[in-house]
Structure formats: structure tokens, C-alpha cells
Homo-oligomer: A and B are copies of this chain.
Amino acid sequence: MMLVFKTIPSLHKKIKSLKLKNKTIGFVPTMGALHEGHLSLIKKARQQNDIVILSIFVNPTQFAPHEDFEKYPRTLKEDKLLAEMCGVDLLFLPDTKIMYGSSPLTEVIVDPALTRTLCGKSRPTHFTGVATVVAKLLNIVTPDKMYLGQKDAQQAVVIKKMANDLNFDVKIITCPILREKDGLAMSSRNAYLNAKQRRESSLLYQSLKKARQKIKTGEKKSKKIIDFIRENILNHTHGKIDYIACVDADTLKEVKVLRGKVMVALAVKFGATRLIDNIIVNT
């Protein structure tokens, strides 16, 4: 039976009693609108921990004023059913007042080297919102392990660095991207796409796959790879490219020559909907 907590002290009390019994805690932080990608994180947490805690909180501070905070999909009833089916023990469901109370004045800021590149170029305040809310959630939930999706690759890198720098005693596990049959990376924002956009969007991953093939068969210049993906997308879709980049998978530094563990990442807008995807290639 899944227990639902809307306040921090009630959740704390429960967690303390579990810790006294030496139970291990796996934590999956989400903004709800759960899809198979989220469920894969929950299932992994279920395998590796005594207790699984899921949080659902659409965090306003990681949206810029012009972004989609208001219309971000909220499907709480379905989310609860899915969470319970996948074996979540405790669901943390705070509202904004519980999370941000009386005029907060503290931010957790990760260096621009990680937070102003890739998605951070067009979303300059996004990762401060993410790092701050995750620091808060880690203090509230105090998990042994936390599960993140590789779809939000930059987010995972930023959170890992933040948690390590601030000595959070948590192991962070990044789980593979789950994809629709045509290859589109699963995302709550896919719900925004109309039928035509949805068809075209599959080309993002198709392009990344072809790029991987090019790299595996010898292409070492990141410019060649980026140009190849750009042409593919521009020739076959109405998407507007935000960025296509080849970066070091750990430091997120742009690389000119592909070497080691490289991430090829992109963000493309279909109408108002911004989609991201990435692949890791060991060159």
C-alpha cells in the first residue's frame, strides 16, 4: 500500500523510523506526467532498495517566465496508479508553499561551465532551479540512491556534480533513455506535439543513430557530425534547431575532435515544444 505525504515533517518522521530499521532508500524525483521512462527508474529503484520514494513536484523555479510551467502536463490520478503498480512505497507530493515557504533567499549555483552550455544557453536560469530543488529534495528524502534519466543528460551531470561538491551522501544512478517505437525519446512534453510534429520528431533519434554510425566508421570531426545532423533535420522536418553539439560526456566541454566518451546532444523546437535527445558514443 503506497503512502502519500504532502508535508515534510510527516515524511521525515516516516523516513527516520525506516532508517532506524536500517532500510535502504531509493529515490526517484519527478515532475509527474509519468511515462515508461519514469517507470523504468522506479523499477530500477525497486530492485536495488528496501524502500522506494517517488516525488512529484512541478518545480516553478526551473521554468523561465515565458516557459511552459502553467501548461506542463499534470496527470496526478494516473501517476498515482502507475506509481503504486510499480511498487512505490512512499509518494511525496508537496505543493509550492510546502517546498518554498516563506520567501527563500538561498540558491545552489553550479558553475556556468556546466549550466550555461547546451540547454543552459537558451535556459540560463534553469539549472539553478534544478540544482536548488534537488538539494532540497535530497535533504528531505535522504536517500541512499537517487535515479535520474539519461534523457536529461545535462541535468544528470549538473546534479551529480552538485551532490558530490556539497557532500550529499547519495549514489546517483543514471538510467538509459526509453524510446517510442519510432525512436522518439519518451518525454512528458511529447504530449504537446500535434500529429505532424509527432511524425517528424522521430527524425531526431534517426539522425543521432546515423551520426553514431558515421563516428563508428571513422568520422572524427565534430563539425562534420553536427552539420550532418543539422542537414538531416532541416531537410526532413519543420523543426527549429536550438543546438546540436558534441561534448565530453562528463565535463560537457565542446570537443572539436571526437575522442573518448562523447555525447552528441541536441534540442529542437517543433512549434512551441522543445525536444531534447542525446547519444553517448565511445570513440
Contact = CB atoms under 8 A, between A and B. Distances in A.
Interface of A: 8, 12, 19-20, 22, 101, 104-111, 113-114, 131-132, 135-136, 139-140, 142, 161-162, 164-169
Contacts of A110: 105-106
A135 B169 CA distance: 12
16 contacts: A12-B169, A20-B22, A104-B165, A105-B110, A105-B111, A106-B109, A106-B111, A106-B131, A107-B108, A108-B108, A109-B109, A132-B166, A136-B166, A139-B167, A139-B169, A140-B169
Identical copies of this chain, number: 2
A166 B135 contact: yes
Contacts of A107: 108-109
Contacts of A167: 8, 136, 139-140
A108 B128 CA distance: 10
Contacts of A166: 106, 108, 132, 135-136, 139
A168 B162 CA distance: 16
Contacts of A104: 165
Contacts of A101: 164
A106 B108 contact: yes
A131 B109 CA distance: 12
A104 B114 CA distance: 12
Nearest to A139: B167
A110 B106 CA distance: 4
Nearest to A108: B108
A124 to B, nearest CB: 15
A3 to B, nearest CB: 19
A106 B110 CA distance: 4
Which among A106, A107, A168 has the greatest number of chain B C-beta atoms within 10 A?
A106
Contacts of A131: 106
A118 to B, nearest CB: 15
A166 to B, nearest CB: 5
Question: Can you list the 3 inter-chain pairs with the closest CB atoms, starting with the nearest?
Answer: A106-B165, A105-B111, A139-B167
B114 A165 contact: no
Nearest to A106: B165
A110 B105 CA distance: 6
A109 B109 CA distance: 7
Contacts of A109: 106-109
Nearest to A162: B106
A250 B70 CA distance: 34
Contacts of A111: 105-106
Nearest to A102: B164
